[in-house]
Chain A
Amino acid sequence: MNWLLTHLDEVGGLMVTHAVLSVIPLVIGLVVAVPLGWLAWRYRLLRTPLVAGTGLLYTIPSLALFILMPLVLGTGILDPLNVVVALSVYTVALLVRTVADGLASVPDEVLQAATAMGIGPLRRFFGVQLPLAVPVIAAGLRVAAVSNVSIVSVAALLGIAQLGSLFTDGFARNFLDPIIVGIVACMVLALALDLAILAVSRAVTPWLRVGSPA
């Protein structure tokens, strides 16, 4: 582990880039998936095309999607934007179904009670339905976060620097240390994101803790 001690700065820098490349798509994906998931929940006819259609995007292998992105975006092959957009696509693919399921998990009586109290449709959605759907949506978001971290590393094959670069460098030099450090750093990052989402989800759903033994 001497290698790690002498390369702490480098690993730290790559880890920050890696985190940024994984988190931005998560945010974009969530913002896009909520309205799409709402459409899938509200209009039954749209559900199958929306859920199956976005699910189809998930079948595209990540390396292939990174490479095809420049055709759509007009970017260069080395542009990290390709990675961000590709991962946003995966996040949306995973989350549309989750958001639709989460919204459906809110009991009808609750929505009717909200309406009866005079709460308008927009406030009812953001103030009642969406918060109650948070546990389901957060579960999907955690899966997306963990797989994003793993997928970002593949972009190293195209020369986009992040923790995956430790894999390609180590392999090119027949040197295990950086690869092992990279794997551990990726797993630590995935775990940290997973826990962060769990913590936020708990913080915004205080009612779930009431009455249950800690």
Chain B
Amino acid sequence: MNLLWTWLADPAHWQGDDGIPVRIAEHLAYSGVTLLLAAAIGVPLGLWVGHTGRGRVLVVNLVNGMRSVPTLGLLFVAVLVVGPLLAGDIAFVVPAIFVLVVLAVPPILAGAYAGVEGVDPGARDAARGMGMRPLEVLAKVEVPCALPLIFSGLRSAALQVVATATLAASVSLGGLGRFLIDGQAYRDYGQMAGGALLVAVLAMLVDLVLAGVQRVAVSPGLAPVRTSRRTGRLSRLVPTTT
């Protein structure tokens, strides 16, 4: 325990090109780029699948299948295969980001798909009845209603990406994983544990920030309906169908 605090408290570790702030910035950069790319692929594709109902089986199997692929192995294969085609740091950055994107797309895709598919058909019909075109229905009704699940997909992808970006250090990249890998190479447990603690805290903070964004972005009308404990009745006014 002491090794951990001594390492974290040493001001020398908080400055310079390989200091903690720089590593955090690198870690967030890998994760941010990955999430943007993955969202750019996964969200539209998921919306399309949810909206049209095409390719459902493929999505479900893709999400389940990807979970069984060991990321570390995939990362090493990508670096060994793609790396030699590129020069410099890019030779490691491109395959690492690629693997992280491959990891992040399935949960995002699944969230967007499940969100749109789960939209109340009544709301969809009402929108159509009001004369909305299919794209308007998607943009004005389906997407806002699907936001909670889209966010849950994004958040689980973000968690996985922040966690897995740690592995980038094992193919000589930066990020907080550096401390874990270097600490092990130098038999410096304080550095390993310090880095590990930082990654864990970073992952929780990222999730917290996304939860905050979700709170602001999702319409309050979609908040989970609370039931009163005593009466068992819905405490909010909810339109009834009878």
Contacts and interface: CB of A to CB of B under 8 A. Distances in A.
B81 interface: yes
Contact of A153 (B64, B70, B159, B195): B70
Given A68-B196, A71-B1, A180-B77, A61 B163 contact: yes
A187 interface: yes
Given A157-B184, A171-B76, A183-B70, 13 more contacts: A59-B200, A60-B163, A62-B163, A67-B196, A68-B193, A71-B1, A143-B67, A146-B68, A156-B72, A164-B70, A167-B72, A170-B80, A187-B68
Contacts of B68: 146, 149-150, 186-187, 190-191, 194
Nearest to B207: A59
Contact of B192 (A67, A149, A164, A186): A67
A186 B73 contact: yes
Interface residues of A, number: 44
A52 B70 CA distance: 27
B34 interface: no
Contacts of B77: 176, 179-180, 183
A176 B81 contact: yes
Contacts of A168: 76
A30 interface: no
B132 interface: no
Interface of A: 44, 56, 58-65, 67-68, 70-71, 77, 143, 146-147, 149-150, 153-154, 156-159, 163-164, 166-168, 170-171, 174, 176, 179-180, 182-183, 186-187, 190-191, 194
B73 A174 contact: no
Classify chain B: how many residues form its interface, as a range: 35 or more
Contacts of B180: 63-64, 67, 157
Contacts of A157: 72, 167, 170, 180-181, 184
A157 B69 CA distance: 17
Interface in B37-83: 64, 67-74, 76-77, 79-81
Contact of B200 (A60, A143, A164): A60
